[in-house]
Amino acid sequence: MMAVERGEASPKGSRKPSSQTSENAQKVLAAFIDRRKPYIWMLNAFGFERRVIVDVQGISAVISGGASGLGLSAARRLATRGVFVVLLDLPASRGEDMARELGAAARFVPGDVRDEAAVEEAVAAAAAVAPLRVAVACAGTATAHKTVGRNGPAPIDGFADTLTINVVGTFNLIRLAAAEMAKLDPVGGERGVVVATASIAAYDGQRGQAAYAAAKGGIVAMTLPVARDLAPLKIRMMTVAPGIFDTPILDGLTPAQVATLREQVPHPARLGAADEFAALVEHIVDNPMLNGETIRIDAAVRLGTK
């Protein structure tokens, strides 16, 4: 989240001395190197301007699927910035342990992301501590069935569950968190941001991934209309589509299967780290021009047929 403070503009048609240009370039470089600075220098049509980064310390966030994997990494990132994080995850998850690990900056709320009452409780828990300005939807599930396999047609219950948990659960968090954000006064020109988690399977679905690809594709498809819905409220909506990441979802695979997945990644030729996903979420929170779009974070991998 940023506010803009105008710097001195160059007179129209004039050029700044080379020493001034060098000085401005040094300011840009220094601001990017030293991330502790509360601003960055950016070049626009009129010269350089200083964009002040609004400190997120003292706000709260709700993160579904926050007890493990991508969600937990996002929670850790935000907590280190002074954000109070509410981890919403299933009762059987390690949410209580993870909240205890994060300390006073976190609380665990058990519940199913499809359950309106559970999500409302998580939103209320966050808002009771500090203004809720961030929501990150990481809860999801995957199932693998060919449309017609050796045992006949794919089970419809598995298909429906995958869509409900991923699509309905994500939208449930977005709508309830955004309704709470709408009550707040804008800071730096905005009230908050919601971030959803899709997958490159939304674009490169493999055999057996009809349900998962449809679910993640649904999240990608809702991103722009939700952003447009929330724009008058000064709330942003973004989606991240991770590639092959080292998360608990790979725990069911053999080492050989994981190695096969790793070999598909061009560069860097490895599995993604959950903290790299979290770093992108953190940047989305900080950058007010990111809205209504899905960002792939996949090291240039494009999934094959199988």
**For range 172-187, the mean pLDDT:** 97
Is-contact 239 219, C-beta < 8 A?
yes
Nearest 5°: phi and psi at 35? -70, -10
Q: Which among 48, 108, 212, 245 is annotated as catalytic?
A: 212
CA 125/CA 84 separation, integer angstroms: 10
How much of the chain exceeds pLDDT 90, in percent?
64
Checking if the pLDDT of 40 tops 90, the result is no
CA 21/CA 50 separation, integer angstroms: 15
What are the residue boundaries of the structural domains of the chain, listed by start?
A: 2-53, 60-297
**For range 128-139, the mean pLDDT:** 97
**For range 15-29, the mean pLDDT:** 53
Checking if the pLDDT of 173 tops 80, the result is yes
Res. 48 pLDDT band, cuts 50 70 90: low
Would residue 212 show up in a list of annotated catalytic residues for this protein?
yes
CATH for 60-297, among 3.10.310.10, 3.40.640.10, 3.40.50.2300, 3.40.50.720? 3.40.50.720
Looking at every residue in the chain, the average pLDDT score rounds to 86
Res. 13 pLDDT band, cuts 50 70 90: very low
Determine the pLDDT at residue 5: 41
Is-contact 113 173, C-beta < 8 A?
yes
**For range 189-197, the mean pLDDT:** 96
By C-alpha distance, which of 82, 90, 95 is closest to 129? 82
